[in-house]
Amino acid sequence: MYTTKGVVGYDLTRLLIGSEGTLAVITEATLKLTPLPEARRLMQAVYTNVGQAAAAISRIMAQPATPCALEFMDAAAIEMIRSYSQADLPHGAGALLMIEVDGPKSALDDLATAIHTAATDSGLIHFHEARTKEESDALWATRKALSPALRTIAPNKLNEDVVVPVSRLPELIAGLEGLSREFGIPIVNFGHAGNGNIHVNLLYDSQDPQQEANARPCLRQVFDLVIRLGGTLSGEHGIGREKRDYIALAIDPPTLDLMRRIKAQFDPKGILNPDKIFPPAT
Amino acid sequence: MYTTKGVVGYDLTRLLIGSEGTLAVITEATLKLTPLPEARRLMQAVYTNVGQAAAAISRIMAQPATPCALEFMDAAAIEMIRSYSQADLPHGAGALLMIEVDGPKSALDDLATAIHTAATDSGLIHFHEARTKEESDALWATRKALSPALRTIAPNKLNEDVVVPVSRLPELIAGLEGLSREFGIPIVNFGHAGNGNIHVNLLYDSQDPQQEANARPCLRQVFDLVIRLGGTLSGEHGIGREKRDYIALAIDPPTLDLMRRIKAQFDPKGILNPDKIFPPAT
């Protein structure tokens, strides 16, 4: 299809996207490009707890100055940033948001004001606007260094990208803190707050018998928690082999069977990534 | 699914959207709402011919001040508007664009300037910015009256919503003018220019034996033209019963067979809108 619109027959393009190579081999793709915005501005908002940050996320997403990025970090992630950067972050912080807006240069002041207004409540203990591109780049570098920096805490990690409705974010983070204590596994959380898509990192040492024994049972409880909160197992990473044994938590048996039957129409011989997404038939 | 993101299993939601009731009965839908923009501004740009308008559309879509609406009207549609409204449109106009931008109030002047710059070339014979909400509403009322006004020209119409790549718009309109002359059927064209999604209206009188005999053969030639230009039969209306006999023009036999087999997985008894989308099996 070479048009940006089309409703002739079923939307097979969307069915193939995210199918992890189980339905077809894509040999050619025509992409629609979006023009780069004229300017951007990055803000940081720090809250005493996750509940206040989650309420701010909801307010930010409900007003028209929609951010182009809205990143969340929990207390453990904030402490990590403090330990390896010069970031001037207040102590006692329970949650940090990075909020970026883009648009015409003339609009940025108003967009930033709208974000500041939506972000403000009694729990906001720090709000900062990056004033130069260098400062903004430095803040993003801090965020992007988080994932590799996890390796300095523990030799092994289980990194999942669960999703919950934004309103359930406080329960997710509180639940994860409980599981971390219960299983003795540090859990660091950050991710894409506007979608409730959080990277949950279970940090452990496979040479420690107790941690090695606890890591996967803890992960199973993480997934149970996510499902209880109306969420799902993955927002962008997919299922692959790692999560196929958990997919039945998120998808009921008739729907899973329907998906298997759809795969059989595309791939009657079962040769396209046969081990991915679906657990082996029992 | 209650999350705005999710890649667990196949994207059945997207498969159901546009399936015209042939795969499932949707009993509940959770929608994501987008906040209303703070302000809008509408512009009108008139060109001597469709080629210049199409080049302007491409320039407008390639710069960051993306319009929230970008409507096209051909010469016949412009003449209709002139005949039933007080619109001050220049004579000799071959194409008219209605271009609306939205965003924060403080950005509108810059957005409008960017649109004016992108819209300008040697073929631009008239450019006008609506300065009040009343004026903007009046211009939109003119556009929205076009479709009902077609009934005053001829008692019958065949109204299709074909799509072509924006770069092929001049060839589409020229081809439609040729078919109109060849079959003696007036054709009026307008629609959503940014997507190349054009409402093609064949106007005829079913009581006139010549027109009645010519209307459907002319429509078949319209679809052939669209396919030749790399387009497709429908951008938003769908296939239903009216266009099912043409679907093989747009979708090759193996893909059409695959779609039929997907339907059979959802609807093994063939009870869900059995007459829609697909022609009866031969």
Distance CA B137, CA B42 (A): 9
Question: In the beta sheet, which residues pair with residue B43?
Answer: B99, B129
Closest Cβ opposite residue B234 in set A7, A237, A277: A7
> Is the minimum CB–CB distance between A104 and chain B shorter than 8 Å?
yes
CB of B52 closer than 8 Å to CB of B124 = yes
Taking 70 as the threshold, does the pLDDT of residue B129 lie above it? yes
> Is the minimum CB–CB distance between A4 and chain B shorter than 8 Å?
yes
* Distance to chain B for A254, nearest Cα, Å: 11
**Contacts of B94 by beta carbon, 8 Å cutoff, 6+ apart:** B47, B48, B49, B50, B52, B53, B74, B75
- Between the CA of residue B35 and those of A67, A102, A106, A112, what are the distances in Å? 12, 16, 21, 17
Alpha-carbon Rg of chain B, whole angstroms? 21
At residue B45, the pLDDT reads 97
CB atoms within 10 A of CB B7: 20
Taking 80 as the threshold, does the pLDDT of residue A282 lie above it? no
Taking 80 as the threshold, does the pLDDT of residue B85 lie above it? no
The three-class DSSP label of residue A214 is helix
Task: Mark yes or no for CB contact B262/A262 under 8 Å.
Answer: yes
At residue B282, the pLDDT reads 61
* Distance to chain B for A129, nearest Cα, Å: 19
> Is the minimum CB–CB distance between A107 and chain B shorter than 8 Å?
yes
At residue B2, the pLDDT reads 77
The three-class DSSP label of residue B98 is strand
**Going from the N-terminus, what domains does chain A have, and what CATH number goes with each?**
39-147 (3.30.70.2190), 154-266 (3.30.70.2740)
Task: Mark yes or no for CB contact A234/B19 under 8 Å.
Answer: no
Task: Mark yes or no for CB contact A10/B6 under 8 Å.
Answer: no
Mean confidence (pLDDT) of chain B: 94
In angstroms, how far is the first alpha carbon of chain A from the final one?
39
At residue B56, the pLDDT reads 96
Task: Mark yes or no for CB contact B66/A235 under 8 Å.
Answer: no
- Between the CA of residue B184 and those of A64, A232, B210, B219, what are the distances in Å? 49, 58, 9, 12
Chain B residue whose CA is closest to A226? B3
Distance CA B174, CA B163 (A): 15
Position B82 confidence tier, pLDDT thresholds 50, 70, 90: confident
The pair of structure tokens assigned to B174 is 């020229």
The pair of structure tokens assigned to A157 is 């990690």
Q: Which residue from A106, A111, A65 is spatially nearest to B108, judged by alpha carbons?
A: A106
The verdict on pTM exceeding 0.90 is yes
Closest Cβ opposite residue A104 in set B35, B65, B239: B65
E-strand spans in A193-264?
A: 197-204
> Is the minimum CB–CB distance between B163 and chain A shorter than 8 Å?
yes
Number of CB pairs, chain A paired with chain B, less than 8 A apart = 187
**Which helix (H) or strand (E) is A159 found in, with range?**
strand A156-163
Distance CA B171, CA B261 (A): 36
Show which of residues 122-151 on chain A sit within 8 Å of chain B, judged by CB atoms.
Answer: none
Identify which has the larger pLDDT, A142 or A132: A132
CB atoms within 10 A of CB A244: 15
pLDDT in tens, A77-117: 998 888 877 777 888 899 999 999 999 999 999 999 999 99
* Distance to chain B for A174, nearest Cα, Å: 19
Provide, as residue numbers in chain A, all residues whose Cβ is less than 8 Å from the Cβ of B62: 35
Chain B residue whose CA is closest to A198? B5
- Between the CA of residue A193 and those of A197, B103, B107, what are the distances in Å? 6, 23, 27
CB of A266 closer than 8 Å to CB of A15 = no
Q: How far is CA B125 from the centre of its chain?
A: 24
Distance CA A47, CA A54 (A): 10
- Percent of chain A exceeding pLDDT 70 equals 99
CB of A73 closer than 8 Å to CB of A190 = yes
Q: Which residue from A242, A63, A87, B3 is spatially nearest to A73, judged by alpha carbons?
A: A87
Where are the alpha helices (H) located in B9-70, listed in sequence order? Answer: 12-16, 50-61
Show which of residues 14-33 on chain B sit within 8 Å of chain A, judged by CB atoms.
Answer: 14-15, 17-19, 23
> Is the minimum CB–CB distance between A245 and chain B shorter than 8 Å?
no
